[in-house]
Structure 1
């Protein structure tokens, strides 16, 4: 524990000690005086109210020094990387007005609901991954990055996860070569979460699951949000009608590999509740907390208790 004004603490403790010494001297004089002790004022009852008053005085005088302590405070904190599938299939309209537009709307609600202790980044991915906004507490910058997303190209969830991991650890991340069985050591990032908005259609599902295992090894949790319907629809790509449907199995597997959850959002109503459904990490951080208020509150409680005891035992405050 530290104090902002040490000299006031010293003076306060000296005054409190003087008050205690004065009370002891007073009681000795009373004990030596030739008079009878009143009924009900013998033993510990005679001293308890005054002990409460003197303790309260000590707390109040100590509070003047503005004491502070480092205390563990639980809070939602860390890094969240929002990962958006911008492949051609996200232009499908089985979720109105389109899969991508619905994902953007849900993500915007999620961003606005987060406390300023959470840094948020944005990654877009098609055939490759691109970090469009580094993790920041600037909510306007994050919302601008989300609003600029447009659909095009293929899909690589592998690159999406690797790009998001790179944003978290601060350097490029890649999977090892096929002949290397060991995953790279990225350190431990237990306060980081990746939220993937996608229809789950992927060019190489096995690679995506390997990337998820890499995230799990770094303590990063992946939450997946399924955009679209399992019945699917068609979307026009380069003049061709291409069938597309939500792949819940892959998205569930990616989330489960890291201890995260899959959130189905086959319609706009389900997407509106995504910000409440996704659980972020609760971390414990040590913060400097001023104790003046708690000390004053405790002192007031002791003063009140001492006064009530005097009234109950003696009928008045003496």
Structure 2
């Protein structure tokens, strides 16, 4: 237990001690006066009990005024979602208005807005490489700011997107290593989910191996296809390149991990992904103010103590 104003506790206890001393002196004087008058002092058990309860109430009130706070374990449900957004140059195609990246950002913002604060959300931006632009956090404004900052650049590596997302989830660097090496074991993270928003135009290797790492860790990957199968032409460094939505690769990633694939035209269905997140039960210490309860106890003690004292002696002390 901690106190916000320890000095008030010291003052309150001194006041309580002074009242106790006054009660003892008053009792002695009363008994002496009765003895001098030749009157036997009545049994004072009830009166002493009343005085004791009254002083106890004052002592409890002194503790309450000091602002006591206790740290208590509070259970809460929590999960982690990583939004991996494709920022490769192909996402500048305008087959989805106003362009693919803007559509992905709109869908990502809508998804964030639908999540409770018990879900930590992080953002990974990927092209040939991948970068965590917002670590998982219950403050969703951080994720929204990261989504709004996304800019077009480079090619596309879905494998890098998955590995960077796993790094953000576990808090440590996750790498595939050589192709002949077994996939890394990153532990079991069933309360984590990855949502990839991309046109699926992958230029990097190891997509399936990366998905297998997530699958072994119990992490579902949901993919959202941004673009059209018919495709569009995008201008990159003075060249006109044809780009189309690769649903096959995005579907493979989702199926490997037990997730789902859906096109951006159904982006509203992103809200349903929240239902698949396996929220974990965590326990964290949170401050609990005790002053209110102590004040109630003090008032009860003071009331009962005063009533007993008055009924026995006709005086409060």
3-state SS of paired residue (1:173): coil
CA 1:269–1:192 in structure 2 vs 1: closer, same or farther (change >3 Å)? closer
State the alpha-carbon separation in 2 of the partners of residues 25 and 191 from structure 1: 69
CA 1:144–1:25 in structure 2 vs 1: closer, same or farther (change >3 Å)? closer
CA-CA distance at 1:272 after TM superposition: 5.3
3-state SS of paired residue (1:146): helix
CA-CA distance at 1:61 after TM superposition: 0.6
Aligned to 1:124: 125
State the alpha-carbon separation in 2 of the partners of residues 114 and 55 from structure 1: 49
* Counterpart check, 1:286 vs 2:285: yes
Match of 1:227 among 224, 227, 251: 224
3-state SS of paired residue (2:85): strand
* Counterpart check, 1:209 vs 2:215: no
State the alpha-carbon separation in 1 of the partners of residues 50 and 93 from structure 2: 76
Structural mapping, 1:235-254, within 5 Å: 235-236=231-232, 238-239=241-242, 244=247, 247-248=250-251, 250-254=253-257
State the alpha-carbon separation in 2 of the partners of residues 197 and 53 from structure 1: 66
* Counterpart check, 1:63 vs 2:33: no
CA-CA distance at 1:15 after TM superposition: 4.1
TM-score by length of 1: 0.60
CA 1:6–1:175 in structure 2 vs 1: closer, same or farther (change >3 Å)? same
8 Å CA contact 1:72–1:285 kept in 2: the answer is yes
CA-CA distance at 1:163 after TM superposition: 1.4
3-state SS of paired residue (1:72): strand
Which has the greater radius of gyration?
2
* Counterpart check, 1:9 vs 2:5: no
CA-CA distance at 1:172 after TM superposition: 4.1
8 Å CA contact 1:228–1:245 kept in 2: the answer is no
CA-CA distance at 1:83 after TM superposition: 1.1
Aligned to 1:160: 161
Size of the alignment, in residue pairs? 292
State the alpha-carbon separation in 1 of the partners of residues 6 and 254 from structure 2: 58
CA 1:182–1:153 in structure 2 vs 1: closer, same or farther (change >3 Å)? closer
CA-CA distance at 1:233 after TM superposition: 3.7
8 Å CA contact 1:100–1:151 kept in 2: the answer is no
CA-CA distance at 1:206 after TM superposition: 2.9
8 Å CA contact 1:79–1:135 kept in 2: the answer is no
CA-CA distance at 1:303 after TM superposition: 5.6
8 Å CA contact 2:77–2:118 kept in 1: the answer is yes
Structural mapping, 1:95-106, within 5 Å: 100-106=101-107
State the alpha-carbon separation in 1 of the partners of residues 261 and 53 from structure 2: 56
3-state SS of paired residue (1:267): helix
Q: Where does structure 1 lack aligned partners over 5 or more consecutive residues?
A: none
Structural mapping, 1:159-178, within 5 Å: 159-167=160-168, 172-178=173-179
TM-score by length of 2: 0.60
Aligned to 1:195: 194
CA-CA distance at 1:139 after TM superposition: 6.2
CA-CA distance at 1:105 after TM superposition: 1.9
CA 1:25–1:246 in structure 2 vs 1: closer, same or farther (change >3 Å)? farther
Provide the alpha-carbon RMSD of the alignment: 5.4
CA 1:175–1:269 in structure 2 vs 1: closer, same or farther (change >3 Å)? closer
